[in-house]
Structure formats: C-alpha cells, structure tokens
Amino acid sequence: MTIACSIEAASDRVMAALVAGLEIEFGSGAGRVLAKRFLEAEEADFNWDARVGALARQL
C-alpha cells in the first residue's frame, strides 16, 4: 500500500512534532520559539550548501 501526502501536510506534521518535543523538554513557552530558531539555522545551512554546490558545478 502506498501513502501519498503533500509536502505541506508533511511539513505541518513535522513542525507539530518538533514543537511538541521541544515543549516536553523545555516547557510550553519555549517550544515554538526554539523550533523557529532551529528552522532558521537549517535554512541558513541549506542556502550555504546550495551556494557551495553551485560553485562546485561551475568549476
């Protein structure tokens, strides 16, 4: 059996799980704030990796 869902729906579930885990670990007020910081850091890494990859393809 194959299960298919949109990236947006999967992203929402991942975000909810991340926030829930952070709230368990650090308290209810910190979950969303920490999740936002984690995602911002991941975005910066993603952008950096993309730039390095683009430069490597040019060489």
- Parse the chain into domains and list their residue ranges: 16-58
Does 43 score more than 60 pLDDT? Answer: yes
In the block, tokens 């430069």 appear at: 55
pLDDT band for 2, please (50, 70, 90 cuts): low
Note if the pTM is more than 0.85. Answer: no
The pLDDT value recorded for residue 59 is 73
Write b or e for each residue in 22-33: b if 16 or more Cβ atoms lie within 10 A of its Cβ, otherwise e: bbeeeeeeebee
Once rounded to an integer, what is the mean pLDDT over residues 35-47? 81
